[in-house]
Amino acid sequence: MTLLAIETSCDETSVAVIRDGCVLANLVSSQVALHSEYGGVVPELATREHLRNLLPMARAVLEETHFTPSQLDAVAATRGPGLPSALMIGLKAGQALAFALRKPFIGINHHEAHLYSPWISGKPPRAIFEEFQPNISLIVSGGHTMLVHVKRELGHELLGETVDDAAGECFDKTAKLMGLPYPGGPEIDRLAETGNPKAYDFPRPMMHEPNHDFSFSGLKTSVRYFLQKNPELLNDRKRLCDMCASVQAAIIDVLVTKTIKAAKRIDVGCITASGGVTCNRALRNRLVAACVEAGFVLRLADKSLCTDNAAMIGILAERKLLAGTTSTHLDAEIQTSWALSSDAKGDVSSSLARDAT
Ligand code: KG4
Ligand code: ZN
C-alpha cells in the first residue's frame, strides 16, 4: 500500500510517503524560528505557514519518491487534537486529495500516532511491528504529558496525564524565567550538561501519589520564587548551569519514576517514549538506566521522530487500513480535543470516497 500522510496539528508542517511499512520520505518544516520571537506558538502564524508550505511539500515528497498522485492507495491526515486552524489545513487538504483521487481517507489521532513512533526504526525507517510488545508509553511534549498502556497493536488505555502544565511547557516556562530563548527545553538540556543536578532542590510534584497523573505548574512556581530571591544567580554562568541541571533533574525524576511505577503496576515488559521532550539527553539516559535496572525493554523514538512528523501518522494509518479500520468521512471535522481514551477501533462508517467509486 502506498499512502500520503499529512501532519499540521501545531507548528510543524510535515508530509510523508509510506509504502508497505517503510517511510520512503518524511519532510518536516519546523516553525520554531518564526515563533521564537513571540516566546510561543502563535496559531495564526502557524496556520499561515501550513497553508504556504503544505502543497509544495506534498509535491516534493511525491517527486522524491517518484510517485504520481494517482499511484497513491490512500491519504491520511491528523484530525486532532491540536490547534483548530492548523489542524483544518492538513485535514481538509487530505480529504480534498482523497476525494479527487477517489481513494480512502483516514483521519488520525495525533497522540495515537505518537504511541507507534518508537516502533519506527532503521535506515530507511520502517515499522517493526514484528517486534511489538505490550508496553507503557510515555508521551511527553510541549502540550501533553501522558502515560498510556498499549495493550496490543491498535489497542490502548490512557492511564494518566498532566493536570496542569505539560513537561515541555515546564521546560519552556522555567527557561523563560531564566532569560533563555524559546523553546527552552533544548537550551536547558544544553546548559544542564555542565551543571550540578543536586545544586538546588526543587519539588517533584505528584511523584509518589498513587495515580498516573502529573503536575508541573508547582515546580514552575517554585522556580519563579527561587529566582525572585536569588536574581544574581542568572549573571553567574556556573550557577545558571546548576539551576538548569536542577530543574531538569526534578522534571526527569517525576517522568521516569512514574513511568517505571506504571510499568511495574500494569506488569508489562516494555516501555516506550516519544514527543519533543524525549529529545532530552538526560531523560533518554535516565530511562535507559532505569529500564536496565528494572529489567524492562526500552524503545525510545528516534530523535528525528520524537517531534511532530507525518511518518508516524502514515505508519499508523496504513496499519489501521490493513486491520480493516473503515475510512473517515470526507466531510468529517477536526477534533481539537480528541481524547486518547480507549481502543480506537476506527472512525465511523463509509467514506464519500468509497461511495464515489
Ligand atoms: O513534540 P513537540 O515538538 O511539539 C509539541 O509540543 O507538540 O515538543 C516540543 C517541546 C517543547 O516544549 C520543547 O522545549 C521540548 O519539546 N523539547 C525539549 C528538548 N527538545 C525539545 N525539552 C527538553 N530537552 C530537549 N532537548
Ligand atoms: Zn506531538
Contact of 135 with 272, CB cutoff 8 Å: yes
Mutate-to-test residue for ligand 1 from 277, 304, 309, highest number of ligand atoms within 8 A of CB: 277
Place of cell 532503521: 122
CA 183 vs CA 10, 37, 163, 266, 331: distances in Å: 14, 10, 22, 34, 35
| Site of grid cell 533518554 | 284
Q: List the one residue out of 153, 155, 137, 154 whose CA is nearest residue 145.
A: 137
The model's pTM: 0.94
> Which residue is closest in CA terms to ligand 1's atom 2?
276
Substitution site in 110, 141, 284 for ligand 1 pocket (most atoms within 8 Å of beta carbon): 141
The closest ligand to the CA of 278 turns out to be 1
Exposure class string for 231-261: b at 16+ Cβ within 10 A, else e: eebeeeeebbbbbbbbbbbbbbebbbbbbbb
Between CA 293 and CA 288 the distance in angstroms is 9
Helices 237-266, 184-192: inter-axial angle, 10-degree rounding:
110
Using one digit for the tens of pLDDT, what is the confidence trace for 232-279?
A: 999 999 999 999 999 999 999 999 999 999 999 999 999 999 999 999
Q: What is the mean pLDDT of each run of 10 residues along the chain (357 residues)?
A: 97 97 97 87 93 98 98 98 97 98 98 98 95 98 96 96 97 97 96 98 96 97 97 96 98 98 97 98 98 98 96 98 93 94 44 35
pLDDT tens digits for range 169-204: 999 999 999 999 999 999 999 999 999 999 999 999
Cβ-based neighbours of 33, under 8 Å, separated by 6 or more: none
Q: Is the CB of 171 under 6 A from ligand 1?
A: yes
| Cis peptide, bond prior to residue 81, ω within 30 of zero | yes
Residue 2 to residue 7: CA distance in whole angstroms: 17
